Amino acid sequence: MYRNNRLSLAVSIAMGASFAGMANAAIEEVIVTATKTSASTQDIAVAVSAITSEKLDQMGVANFEDYLIQLPGVTAGGSGPGQNTIYIRGVASTTPNLTTAGVAGLAPNVALYLDEQPLSQPGRNLDVYAADMNRIEVLSGPQGTLFGASSQAGTVRLITNKPDPTDTYGRVKVGISKTAKGEASNSIEAMFNMPVNDKLTVRGVVYRDDQGGYIDNVHGTVTALESARFREAGTMRSNGVAVSDLRAGFQTQTYIDSIQGLSYQENRVPLDPTDPASYALVDFQEADNSALVEDDFNDAMYEGFRIGALVDLNEDWSLLLGYGHQDLETDGVFQADPNLGTDSPSVQRFSPDTLEDSFDNINWKLEGRIGALDIVYAGAYTKRETDQVVDYTDYLFVGQYLPYYICDTTVTYPEYNYYNPGYASNIPAGTCYAPDTYVESYSETTVSTHELRFTTDQDKSIRATGGAFYSDLELQERVNFRYPGMTQANFWNLYDGADSPLNLPFDDGFLSQTGAFERDTIFRNDIKRTDEQVGVFGEVTFDLNDEFSFTAGARWYDVRVDMEGGANSSFGNFFQGQDVNAFGTNITDLYDGDGKLTFIGDSKLATRITFEDGVTFDEVKAALTAADGFSVGRGSVANAPNAISDVEITGILNALKAPDEAKTSGTIVKATLNWTPNENVLFYGTYSEGFRPGLLNRPGGASNAAGYTVPFELMTDEVTNYEFGWKTDLLNGQLRFNGSAFFVEIENLQTTIFDPSIANLFFSDNAANAEVTGVETDFILALDSLQGLTISGGMSILDTEITKVLTPTDDVVKGDSLAFAPEFQANLQARYEWALSSGFVAHVMPHVAHSDKSYSDIIRMNRDEIQGWTMVGITAGITGETWGAELFVDNLTDQRAELSRNFVNDRERVSYARPRTMGMRLTYNF
Round to whole Å and give the CA distance between 400 and 806: 27
Residue 287 pLDDT more than 70?
A: yes
Round to whole Å and give the CA distance between 109 and 903: 22
**pLDDT bracket for residue 19 (50, 70, 90):** very low
Residue 109 pLDDT more than 90?
A: no
| pLDDT at position 763 | 83
Which letter, b or e, does each residue of 19-43 get, where b requires 16 or more Cβ atoms within 10 Å of its Cβ?
eeeeebeebbebbbbbbbbbbebbb
Residue 866 pLDDT more than 90?
A: yes
Residue 85 pLDDT more than 60?
A: yes
The CA dihedral of 815, 816, 820, 826, to the nearest 10 degrees, is 60
Average pLDDT over residues 538-542: 96
Average pLDDT over residues 106-112: 87
CB-based contacts of 546, cutoff 8 Å, min separation 6: none
| pLDDT at position 62 | 78
Residue 729 pLDDT more than 50?
A: yes
Instruction: Kindly report the number of other CB atoms within 10 A of residue 723's CB atom.
Output: 23
| Amino acid in the structure at residue 608 | R
Round to whole Å and give the CA distance between 555 and 919: 48
| pLDDT at position 108 | 85
Q: What is the pLDDT of residues 746-767, one digit of tens each?
A: 999 999 887 766 766 778 899 9
| pLDDT at position 495 | 76
Average pLDDT over residues 298-310: 98
Q: Which residue has the higher pLDDT, 375 or 31?
A: 375
Indicate the range of 117-121, 219-223, 519-523, 782-786 predicted with least confidence: 117-121
Residue 63 pLDDT more than 80?
A: no
**pLDDT bracket for residue 258 (50, 70, 90):** confident
**pLDDT bracket for residue 610 (50, 70, 90):** very high
Percent of the chain with pLDDT over 70: 95
Q: What separation in angstroms does the CA of 70 have from each of 213, 409, 745?
A: 22, 54, 27
Computed over every residue of the chain, the mean pLDDT equals: 91
Residue 410's Cα: distance from chain center in Å?
Answer: 41
Residue 57 pLDDT more than 90?
A: no
Average pLDDT over residues 455-470: 95
Residue 451 pLDDT more than 90?
A: yes
Q: What is the pLDDT of residues 903-922, one digit of tens each?
A: 989 999 999 999 999 999 99
**pLDDT bracket for residue 101 (50, 70, 90):** low
Residue 310 pLDDT more than 90?
A: yes
Q: What is the pLDDT of residues 26-40, one digit of tens each?
A: 688 888 888 888 889
**pLDDT bracket for residue 615 (50, 70, 90):** very high
Percent of the chain with pLDDT over 90: 71
Residue 9 pLDDT more than 50?
A: no
The CA dihedral of 747, 748, 752, 754, to the nearest 10 degrees, is 120
| pLDDT at position 98 | 59
Q: Which residue has the higher pLDDT, 258 or 743?
A: 743
Q: What is the pLDDT of residues 875-908, one digit of tens each?
A: 999 999 999 999 999 999 999 999 999 998 999 9
Residue 157 pLDDT more than 70?
A: yes
Phi-psi region of 371 (alpha: psi -120 to 50; beta: other; left: phi over 0): left
- 772, 916, 793: which is closest to 854 by C-alpha? 772
Highest-confidence segment of 63-67, 250-254, 257-261, 643-647: 250-254
| pLDDT at position 10 | 34
Average pLDDT over residues 360-383: 96
Pairing between strand 200-211 and 184-195? Answer: antiparallel
At residue 887, φ and ψ (nearest 5 deg) are -100, 145
Residue 112's Cα: distance from chain center in Å?
Answer: 11
Q: What is the pLDDT of residues 390-427, one digit of tens each?
A: 999 999 999 998 999 999 999 999 988 888 888 998 99
Q: What is the pLDDT of residues 676-709, one digit of tens each?
A: 999 999 999 999 999 999 889 888 887 776 677 8
Judge contact between 771 and 801, C-beta under 8 A.
yes
Q: What is the pLDDT of residues 789-842, one digit of tens each?
A: 999 999 999 999 999 999 887 889 999 999 999 999 999 999 999 999 988 999
At residue 244, φ and ψ (nearest 5 deg) are -80, 165
Judge contact between 271 and 278, C-beta under 8 A.
yes
DSSP string, 557-590: EEEEEEEEEEEEE-TTHHHHTS----SSEEHHHH
Residue 639 pLDDT more than 90?
A: no
